Protein backbone atom coordinates (compact mmCIF):
# COMPACT_ATOMS: atom_id res chain seq x y z
CA UNK A 1 0.00 0.00 0.00
CA UNK A 2 1.02 3.60 -0.34
CA UNK A 3 1.83 5.35 2.93
CA UNK A 4 -0.75 7.97 3.99
CA UNK A 5 -0.36 9.64 7.35
CA UNK A 6 -3.18 10.15 9.82
CA UNK A 7 -3.05 13.88 10.56
CA UNK A 8 -4.66 13.41 13.99
CA UNK A 9 -1.57 11.68 15.36
CA UNK A 10 2.06 12.78 15.50
CA UNK A 11 3.39 9.22 15.33
CA UNK A 12 3.47 9.40 11.57
CA UNK A 13 5.65 12.50 11.53
CA UNK A 14 7.93 11.50 14.42
CA UNK A 15 9.89 8.35 13.79
CA UNK A 16 10.44 6.02 16.75
CA UNK A 17 13.89 4.40 16.88
CA UNK A 18 13.82 0.96 18.43
CA UNK A 19 16.83 -1.29 19.07
CA UNK A 20 16.42 -5.07 19.06
CA UNK A 21 19.03 -7.65 19.96
CA UNK A 22 19.96 -10.57 17.75
CA UNK A 23 18.39 -13.96 18.70
CA UNK A 24 16.21 -12.22 21.31
CA UNK A 25 12.62 -11.00 21.03
CA UNK A 26 11.30 -7.46 20.56
CA UNK A 27 7.83 -5.92 20.58
CA UNK A 28 6.62 -2.90 18.62
CA UNK A 29 3.69 -1.08 20.21
CA UNK A 30 1.03 0.52 18.06
CA UNK A 31 -1.50 2.74 19.89
CA UNK A 32 -5.04 2.83 18.53
CA UNK A 33 -8.43 2.54 20.22
CA UNK A 34 -10.77 2.65 17.22
CA UNK A 35 -12.69 -0.20 15.65
CA UNK A 36 -10.99 -0.14 12.27
CA UNK A 37 -8.86 -2.93 10.94
CA UNK A 38 -5.25 -2.77 12.14
CA UNK A 39 -2.30 -3.73 9.99
CA UNK A 40 1.46 -3.91 10.26
CA UNK A 41 3.74 -3.54 7.24
CA UNK A 42 7.40 -3.12 6.26
CA UNK A 43 8.49 -0.34 3.97
CA UNK A 44 10.22 -1.25 0.71
CA UNK A 45 10.77 1.85 -1.38
CA UNK A 46 7.53 3.81 -1.61
CA UNK A 47 5.44 0.69 -0.92
CA UNK A 48 4.66 -0.82 2.48
CA UNK A 49 4.18 -4.59 2.23
CA UNK A 50 1.66 -6.04 4.68
CA UNK A 51 2.97 -8.53 7.21
CA UNK A 52 -0.09 -9.05 9.46
CA UNK A 53 -3.58 -7.58 9.72
CA UNK A 54 -6.58 -7.97 12.04
CA UNK A 55 -8.72 -8.34 8.94
CA UNK A 56 -7.25 -11.83 8.59
CA UNK A 57 -7.69 -14.68 11.02
CA UNK A 58 -3.94 -15.32 10.82
CA UNK A 59 -2.32 -13.52 13.73
CA UNK A 60 1.14 -15.10 13.43
CA UNK A 61 3.40 -16.22 10.59
CA UNK A 62 6.08 -17.84 12.73
CA UNK A 63 8.35 -14.83 13.17
CA UNK A 64 5.80 -12.00 13.60
CA UNK A 65 2.87 -12.17 16.01
CA UNK A 66 0.10 -9.56 16.23
CA UNK A 67 -1.63 -9.08 19.58
CA UNK A 68 -4.77 -6.91 19.89
CA UNK A 69 -6.21 -5.43 23.06
CA UNK A 70 -9.02 -2.94 23.82
CA UNK A 71 -6.60 0.02 23.93
CA UNK A 72 -3.94 -0.83 21.37
CA UNK A 73 -2.22 -3.54 19.37
CA UNK A 74 1.36 -4.68 19.12
CA UNK A 75 3.55 -6.85 16.94
CA UNK A 76 6.36 -8.99 18.38
CA UNK A 77 9.32 -10.37 16.43
CA UNK A 78 10.87 -13.57 17.76
CA UNK A 79 14.46 -14.70 17.24
CA UNK A 80 15.49 -11.37 15.75
CA UNK A 81 18.05 -11.45 12.95
CA UNK A 82 19.83 -8.79 10.92
CA UNK A 83 17.27 -9.28 8.11
CA UNK A 84 14.57 -7.85 10.39
CA UNK A 85 16.17 -4.39 10.47
CA UNK A 86 14.31 -1.72 8.53
CA UNK A 87 11.33 0.69 8.62
CA UNK A 88 7.93 -0.57 9.78
CA UNK A 89 4.51 1.09 9.92
CA UNK A 90 1.46 0.60 12.12
CA UNK A 91 -1.79 1.55 10.38
CA UNK A 92 -5.55 1.24 10.21
CA UNK A 93 -8.01 0.49 7.45
CA UNK A 94 -11.73 1.13 7.15
CA UNK A 95 -14.03 -1.87 7.00
CA UNK A 96 -14.96 -0.95 3.48
CA UNK A 97 -11.31 -0.91 2.52
CA UNK A 98 -11.62 2.52 0.96
CA UNK A 99 -9.10 4.19 3.22
CA UNK A 100 -5.81 3.11 4.82
CA UNK A 101 -3.76 5.37 7.07
CA UNK A 102 -0.39 4.96 8.79
CA UNK A 103 -0.29 5.68 12.51
CA UNK A 104 3.33 5.21 13.51
CA UNK A 105 6.73 4.87 11.81
CA UNK A 106 9.30 2.61 13.50
CA UNK A 107 12.96 2.41 12.55
CA UNK A 108 14.17 -0.96 13.83
CA UNK A 109 17.91 -1.44 14.40
CA UNK A 110 19.36 -4.87 15.20
CA UNK A 111 22.31 -4.90 17.59
CA UNK A 112 24.58 -7.90 18.13
CA UNK A 113 27.22 -6.30 20.36
CA UNK A 114 25.50 -6.94 23.68
CA UNK A 115 27.45 -8.96 26.26
CA UNK A 116 26.03 -12.47 26.82
CA UNK A 117 26.63 -14.69 29.83
CA UNK A 118 25.23 -18.07 30.91
CA UNK A 119 25.35 -19.55 34.40
CA UNK A 120 24.12 -22.73 36.15
CA UNK A 121 23.87 -22.13 39.90
CA UNK A 122 22.57 -24.86 42.19
CA UNK A 123 19.48 -24.46 44.36
CA UNK A 124 20.36 -22.69 47.60
CA UNK A 125 23.51 -21.00 46.36
CA UNK A 126 24.14 -17.25 46.24
CA UNK A 127 24.68 -15.76 42.77
CA UNK A 128 26.67 -12.59 42.16
CA UNK A 129 27.35 -11.06 38.75
CA UNK A 130 28.07 -7.60 37.41
CA UNK A 131 27.22 -5.57 34.30
CA UNK A 132 29.50 -2.91 32.84
CA UNK A 133 27.69 -0.07 31.13
CA UNK A 134 28.99 2.10 28.22
CA UNK A 135 31.18 5.15 28.71
CA UNK A 136 28.48 7.80 28.52
CA UNK A 137 25.99 9.30 30.92
CA UNK A 138 23.09 7.02 31.82
CA UNK A 139 20.60 8.28 34.36
CA UNK A 140 18.88 5.22 35.77
CA UNK A 141 20.42 1.76 35.45
CA UNK A 142 18.21 -1.28 36.06
CA UNK A 143 17.83 -5.02 35.63
CA UNK A 144 14.73 -6.77 34.35
CA UNK A 145 13.67 -10.35 33.71
CA UNK A 146 12.11 -11.65 30.50
CA UNK A 147 12.82 -12.91 27.02
CA UNK A 148 11.81 -9.56 25.52
CA UNK A 149 13.79 -6.59 26.88
CA UNK A 150 11.53 -4.07 25.15
CA UNK A 151 8.62 -4.89 27.46
CA UNK A 152 10.24 -6.43 30.57
CA UNK A 153 9.55 -4.68 33.87
CA UNK A 154 12.59 -3.58 35.93
CA UNK A 155 13.25 -5.57 39.11
CA UNK A 156 15.90 -3.26 40.57
CA UNK A 157 17.20 0.19 39.64
CA UNK A 158 19.93 2.50 40.85
CA UNK A 159 17.49 5.34 41.52
CA UNK A 160 14.50 3.58 43.03
CA UNK A 161 14.70 0.03 44.37
CA UNK A 162 18.19 -1.31 45.08
CA UNK A 163 16.95 -4.21 47.21
CA UNK A 164 13.84 -6.33 46.73
CA UNK A 165 13.57 -9.62 48.59
CA UNK A 166 16.55 -11.82 47.74
CA UNK A 167 17.75 -9.43 44.99
CA UNK A 168 20.09 -6.52 45.64
CA UNK A 169 22.11 -4.10 43.49
CA UNK A 170 25.01 -1.71 43.98
CA UNK A 171 26.78 0.62 41.57
CA UNK A 172 30.46 1.50 41.11
CA UNK A 173 30.53 4.67 39.03
CA UNK A 174 34.33 4.75 38.78
CA UNK A 175 34.38 1.34 37.10
CA UNK A 176 31.04 1.97 35.35
CA UNK A 177 29.41 -1.22 36.53
CA UNK A 178 26.48 -2.45 38.59
CA UNK A 179 26.68 -5.62 40.70
CA UNK A 180 23.64 -7.81 41.29
CA UNK A 181 23.36 -10.44 44.04
CA UNK A 182 20.68 -13.12 44.32
CA UNK A 183 20.67 -14.95 47.63
CA UNK A 184 19.49 -18.53 48.04
CA UNK A 185 18.49 -19.05 44.40
CA UNK A 186 15.48 -21.21 43.55
CA UNK A 187 14.21 -22.83 40.37
CA UNK A 188 11.81 -19.89 39.96
CA UNK A 189 14.84 -17.67 39.34
CA UNK A 190 15.58 -19.49 36.09
CA UNK A 191 15.23 -17.13 33.13
CA UNK A 192 16.79 -14.34 31.10
CA UNK A 193 17.92 -11.13 32.79
CA UNK A 194 18.88 -7.83 31.14
CA UNK A 195 20.98 -4.93 32.39
CA UNK A 196 19.86 -1.66 30.85
CA UNK A 197 19.30 2.05 31.35
CA UNK A 198 16.29 4.26 30.91
CA UNK A 199 16.41 6.94 28.27
CA UNK A 200 14.89 10.42 28.50
CA UNK A 201 14.45 10.56 24.74
CA UNK A 202 10.86 9.57 24.02
CA UNK A 203 11.71 8.80 20.42
CA UNK A 204 14.11 6.01 21.41
CA UNK A 205 13.83 2.70 23.22
CA UNK A 206 15.79 1.93 26.40
CA UNK A 207 19.43 0.92 26.09
CA UNK A 208 20.63 -2.55 27.11
CA UNK A 209 24.23 -3.70 27.51
CA UNK A 210 24.21 -7.09 29.22
CA UNK A 211 22.22 -10.32 28.90
CA UNK A 212 22.32 -13.09 31.52
CA UNK A 213 20.74 -16.51 31.00
CA UNK A 214 20.43 -18.29 34.37
CA UNK A 215 19.41 -21.93 34.77
CA UNK A 216 19.04 -23.08 38.35
CA UNK A 217 19.76 -26.82 38.76
CA UNK A 218 19.51 -29.28 41.63
CA UNK A 219 22.65 -30.00 43.73
CA UNK A 220 22.83 -33.51 42.27
CA UNK A 221 22.86 -32.17 38.72
CA UNK A 222 25.38 -29.54 39.74
CA UNK A 223 27.90 -32.11 40.99
CA UNK A 224 27.37 -34.29 37.90
CA UNK A 225 28.09 -31.47 35.47
CA UNK A 226 31.20 -31.51 33.31
CA UNK A 227 34.18 -29.34 34.40
CA UNK A 228 33.36 -26.84 31.67
CA UNK A 229 29.88 -26.15 32.99
CA UNK A 230 30.85 -26.46 36.65
CA UNK A 231 33.09 -23.44 36.30
CA UNK A 232 29.90 -21.40 35.96
CA UNK A 233 28.64 -22.58 39.34
CA UNK A 234 29.20 -20.13 42.15
CA UNK A 235 29.44 -20.20 45.94
CA UNK A 236 28.47 -17.42 48.33
CA UNK A 237 31.91 -15.84 47.97
CA UNK A 238 32.39 -16.22 44.21
CA UNK A 239 31.08 -14.30 41.22
CA UNK A 240 29.94 -16.01 38.03
CA UNK A 241 30.97 -13.08 35.91
CA UNK A 242 34.45 -13.25 34.48
CA UNK A 243 36.21 -9.90 34.49
CA UNK A 244 37.49 -8.43 31.27
CA UNK A 245 40.98 -8.29 32.77
CA UNK A 246 41.02 -12.08 33.36
CA UNK A 247 39.83 -12.74 29.84
CA UNK A 248 42.55 -10.47 28.52
CA UNK A 249 45.24 -12.28 30.54
CA UNK A 250 44.11 -15.65 29.25
CA UNK A 251 44.17 -14.39 25.68
CA UNK A 252 47.77 -13.21 26.17
CA UNK A 253 48.79 -16.65 27.49
CA UNK A 254 47.17 -18.37 24.50
CA UNK A 255 48.96 -16.06 22.08
CA UNK A 256 52.33 -16.77 23.76
CA UNK A 257 51.75 -20.54 23.58
CA UNK A 258 50.89 -20.34 19.89
CA UNK A 259 54.01 -18.25 19.16
CA UNK A 260 56.26 -20.74 20.98
CA UNK A 261 54.72 -23.66 19.09
CA UNK A 262 55.29 -21.91 15.75
CA UNK A 263 58.91 -21.14 16.70
CA UNK A 264 59.59 -24.77 17.66
CA UNK A 265 58.10 -25.96 14.38
CA UNK A 266 60.35 -23.54 12.48
CA UNK A 267 63.44 -24.83 14.33
CA UNK A 268 62.53 -28.46 13.57
CA UNK A 269 62.16 -27.62 9.88
CA UNK A 270 65.62 -25.99 9.86
CA UNK A 271 67.19 -29.04 11.57
CA UNK A 272 65.55 -31.37 9.09
CA UNK A 273 66.80 -29.35 6.12
CA UNK A 274 70.31 -29.18 7.65
CA UNK A 275 70.79 -32.93 8.06
CA UNK A 276 68.75 -34.15 5.12
CA UNK A 277 71.57 -33.45 2.51
CA UNK A 278 74.07 -35.35 4.69
CA UNK A 279 71.80 -38.36 4.72
CA UNK A 280 71.37 -38.17 0.95
CA UNK A 281 75.16 -37.86 0.49
CA UNK A 282 75.77 -40.93 2.61
CA UNK A 283 73.18 -42.91 0.71
CA UNK A 284 74.74 -41.77 -2.57
CA UNK A 285 78.23 -42.78 -1.45
CA UNK A 286 76.99 -46.18 -0.35
CA UNK A 287 75.27 -46.64 -3.69
CA UNK A 288 78.44 -45.61 -5.54
CA UNK A 289 80.54 -47.96 -3.41
CA UNK A 290 78.19 -50.78 -4.19
CA UNK A 291 78.33 -49.90 -7.88
CA UNK A 292 82.17 -50.03 -7.88
CA UNK A 293 82.03 -53.65 -6.77
CA UNK A 294 79.71 -54.86 -9.52
CA UNK A 295 81.54 -56.25 -12.48
CA UNK A 296 80.55 -57.70 -15.77
CA UNK A 297 80.44 -61.43 -15.83
CA UNK A 298 82.74 -62.91 -18.45
CA UNK A 299 80.90 -65.65 -20.18
CA UNK A 300 82.07 -68.20 -22.68
CA UNK A 301 81.20 -67.47 -26.26
CA UNK A 302 79.57 -70.51 -27.86
CA UNK A 303 81.60 -72.12 -30.64
CA UNK A 304 80.92 -75.13 -32.73
CA UNK A 305 84.47 -76.49 -32.20
CA UNK A 306 86.71 -77.38 -29.28
CA UNK A 307 89.12 -74.59 -30.00
CA UNK A 308 89.96 -72.47 -27.03
CA UNK A 309 88.81 -68.85 -27.50
CA UNK A 310 90.54 -65.79 -26.22
CA UNK A 311 88.21 -63.15 -24.65
CA UNK A 312 89.18 -59.61 -23.80
CA UNK A 313 87.31 -57.47 -21.27
CA UNK A 314 87.91 -54.16 -19.56
CA UNK A 315 87.41 -54.24 -15.79
CA UNK A 316 87.33 -51.53 -13.13
CA UNK A 317 88.90 -52.70 -9.92
CA UNK A 318 87.91 -51.86 -6.34
CA UNK A 319 90.01 -49.38 -4.42
CA UNK A 320 90.10 -51.53 -1.27
CA UNK A 321 92.41 -54.61 -1.28
CA UNK A 322 90.65 -57.91 -0.96
CA UNK A 323 91.48 -60.01 2.12
CA UNK A 324 94.08 -62.67 1.57
CA UNK A 325 91.59 -65.25 2.77
CA UNK A 326 89.65 -64.74 -0.44
CA UNK A 327 92.69 -65.42 -2.59
CA UNK A 328 92.00 -69.14 -2.66
CA UNK A 329 92.14 -70.32 -6.27
CA UNK A 330 94.59 -68.94 -8.77
CA UNK A 331 94.44 -69.73 -12.41
CA UNK A 332 96.72 -72.68 -13.23
CA UNK A 333 98.94 -70.87 -15.67
CA UNK A 334 100.78 -67.86 -14.27
CA UNK A 335 101.80 -66.90 -17.79
CA UNK A 336 98.24 -65.72 -18.31
CA UNK A 337 98.89 -62.85 -15.92
CA UNK A 338 98.98 -59.53 -17.68
CA UNK A 339 101.06 -56.70 -16.29
CA UNK A 340 101.58 -58.52 -12.98
CA UNK A 341 97.88 -58.67 -12.05
CA UNK A 342 96.33 -61.87 -10.80
CA UNK A 343 92.75 -62.91 -11.53
CA UNK A 344 91.06 -64.54 -8.55
CA UNK A 345 87.81 -66.51 -8.68
CA UNK A 346 85.84 -66.50 -5.46
CA UNK A 347 84.04 -69.82 -4.87
CA UNK A 348 80.24 -69.89 -5.05
CA UNK A 349 80.23 -66.64 -6.96
CA UNK A 350 79.29 -66.17 -10.58
CA UNK A 351 81.21 -62.90 -10.85
CA UNK A 352 84.97 -62.32 -11.02
CA UNK A 353 86.66 -60.15 -8.38
CA UNK A 354 90.10 -58.63 -8.63
CA UNK A 355 92.91 -57.57 -6.34
CA UNK A 356 94.09 -53.96 -6.02
CA UNK A 357 95.57 -53.05 -9.39
CA UNK A 358 94.89 -50.46 -12.03
CA UNK A 359 92.38 -51.02 -14.78
CA UNK A 360 93.85 -53.36 -17.44
CA UNK A 361 92.93 -55.51 -20.36
CA UNK A 362 92.46 -59.13 -19.16
CA UNK A 363 93.42 -61.91 -21.45
CA UNK A 364 91.71 -65.11 -20.41
CA UNK A 365 91.80 -68.44 -22.04
CA UNK A 366 88.59 -70.32 -21.64
Question: 220 versus 180: which is more confidently predicted?
Answer: 180
CB pairs under 8 A, 24+ apart, for 218-226? 218/122, 218/123, 219/122, 219/123, 219/124, 221/122, 222/120, 222/121, 222/122, 225/120
Model confidence at 355: pLDDT above 60: no
Residue 214: pLDDT band with limits 50, 70, 90:
very high
Query: Comparing 7-16, 88-97, 107-116, 164-173, which segment has the lowest mean pLDDT?
Result: 7-16
Mean of the pLDDT values across residues 24-48? 90
Question: 133 versus 318: which is more confidently predicted?
Answer: 133
Model confidence at 89: pLDDT above 90: yes
Report the distance separating Cα 37 and Cα 50, nearest Å: 13
Model confidence at 99: pLDDT above 90: no
Model confidence at 247: pLDDT above 80: no
Report the distance separating Cα 60 and Cα 250, nearest Å: 46
* pLDDT score of 339: 43
Residue 250: pLDDT band with limits 50, 70, 90:
low
Mean of the pLDDT values across residues 117-126? 94
Residue 72: pLDDT band with limits 50, 70, 90:
confident
Mean of the pLDDT values across residues 11-17? 76
Residue 221: pLDDT band with limits 50, 70, 90:
confident
CB pairs under 8 A, 24+ apart, for 32-35? 32/72, 32/73, 32/90, 32/92, 32/103, 33/70, 33/71, 33/72, 34/92
Query: pLDDT exceeding 70 applies to what percent of the chain?
Result: 63
Amino acid sequence: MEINCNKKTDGCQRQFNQTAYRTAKTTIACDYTGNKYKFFCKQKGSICEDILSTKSSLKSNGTFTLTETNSNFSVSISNVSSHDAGVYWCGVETHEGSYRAALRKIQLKVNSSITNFTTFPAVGQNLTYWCRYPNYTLINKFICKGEDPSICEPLLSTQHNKTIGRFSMKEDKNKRKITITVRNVTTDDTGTYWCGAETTDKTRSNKFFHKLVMTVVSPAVSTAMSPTLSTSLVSSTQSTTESAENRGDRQVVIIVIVCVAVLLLFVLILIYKRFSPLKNTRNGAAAQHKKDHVYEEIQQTPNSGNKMNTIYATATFPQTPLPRALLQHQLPNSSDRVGGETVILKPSSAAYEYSTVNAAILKLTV
